[in-house]
Amino acid sequence: MADLQNDLRPSATAGDVDDLAEPYPDDGVITAESYEPVSDPDDAPMVRAHAILAAHPVADGYNGLPWALKRLPYYDLELGEGTVGTDVPRLRDGHVGALFWSLHLPEGFDGDRAVGATLEQLDLAKTAARTCDDGLRLASTAGQVADARNCGRVAVLLGPAGAPAIGDSLGILRQLHLLGLRALTLTGVSWASEAGLTRFGEEVVREMNRLGVIADLSGASAQTISRVLSLSRAPVLCSRSAARAIRPHPVNLPDELLAELGAAKGLCLVPLTAEQTGPSVRDVADHLDHIRAVAGAQCVGLAGTYDAGSAHPQELGDVSCYPRLVAELLRRGWEEADVALLTWGNVQRLLRGTDFTARAARQRRAPSGAKISELDG
């Protein structure tokens, strides 16, 4: 199949930049540092990492496969697909039990174009999962995720999508939720800006709570993050944010916001990208150590960001590589209980909390008919 692909390269490692990458201004290209591999598949931490992950698999909070598949004339995720970084054999090698498929769009999509393109991605993602039903299973709740794992499948959750996907309409938000959307990133719209949430933005968050759509705050302004944390009754998510104290990337979170997120029982998913975390496994582990110390062990998770157009740290080039990261954490003294929260438990808690909040909210609150023109003028 690889000879059929001419327009997409496999996921990059540190020192390479993928065609889809959109570096932030002034960041430049990240180059690999001198680095010696830390992972020996026969060493005790690696053996223990595989054993822990067999019991507590990875719930990967951000994977860009749907947009990558859109560019391929043909693919086979069941047998293996060398043109992307995600397929069923490598998901199993990496002990991945669940993953969120990002529905984000390239910059510049807005209005009707963003709504239409998001619907197309939803359709493609659902089709890909259903044609790979021996390995993947669509899920939208914590119970469905657990059922998929118990059946030997990788649970696929749809989202996050960008906020422009709802076209400033709560009705479109409800229809996207019916189609399976599980998370929405609150950036790129007038009602969630550098100034924070507008009145309509607050109504969007309340309706997301009622539906069970998770608020993703990666890339949102500090004002928006703080307001959502105070307003949302459901736990929130930062789908791809590391520690700004270690690496000053604009999507990474400063310690004060990490502390707020931890106090609100939210979840920060650390991306495995060289740009945000650094070019080595040790760099990623440094971010995980820091966020655990600042926000707590129940506030940290993993976002592979594979097939999203980013260069990845060495030894973490695709979804099969999670045991190498877990082995590094074990070398640093992480207890199995904290590793289990990092890989699986925290995402399950987030999903359960979101489901519980939605069931309670639907008993108290009817679907909102608010319009942006009425609330924001």
Which has the closest alpha carbon to 339: 352, 351, 327? 327
pTM over 0.85: yes
pLDDT, tens digit only, all 377 positions of the chain: 433 333 333 444 454 433 333 333 333 333 333 334 445 555 899 999 999 999 999 999 999 999 999 889 889 999 999 899 999 999 999 999 999 999 998 888 888 999 999 999 999 999 999 999 999 999 999 999 999 999 999 999 999 999 999 999 999 999 999 999 999 999 999 999 999 999 999 999 999 999 999 999 999 999 999 999 999 999 999 999 999 999 999 999 999 999 999 999 999 999 999 999 999 999 999 999 999 999 999 999 999 999 999 999 999 999 999 999 999 999 999 999 999 999 999 999 999 999 999 999 999 999 999 999 999 98
- Is 42 exposed, middle or buried, given 0-12, 13-18 or 19+ CB atoms closer than 10 A? exposed
Residues 6+ apart with CB under 8 A from 274: 13, 14, 15, 30, 32, 310, 311, 312, 313
Q: What is the 3-state secondary structure (H, E, C) of 174-235?
A: HHHHHCCECEEECCCECCEECCEECHHHHHHHHHHHHHCCEEECCCCCHHHHHHHHHHCCCC
3-state helix, strand, coil in the chain (%, to 5): 45, 15, 40
Q: What is the dihedral of CA 175, 178, 183, 189, to 10 degrees?
A: 0
Amino acid 71: pLDDT: 87
How many C-beta atoms surround the C-beta of residue 353 within 10 A? Answer: 19
DSSP 361-377: HHHH-PPP---HHHHT-
Tokens of 291: 């966020």
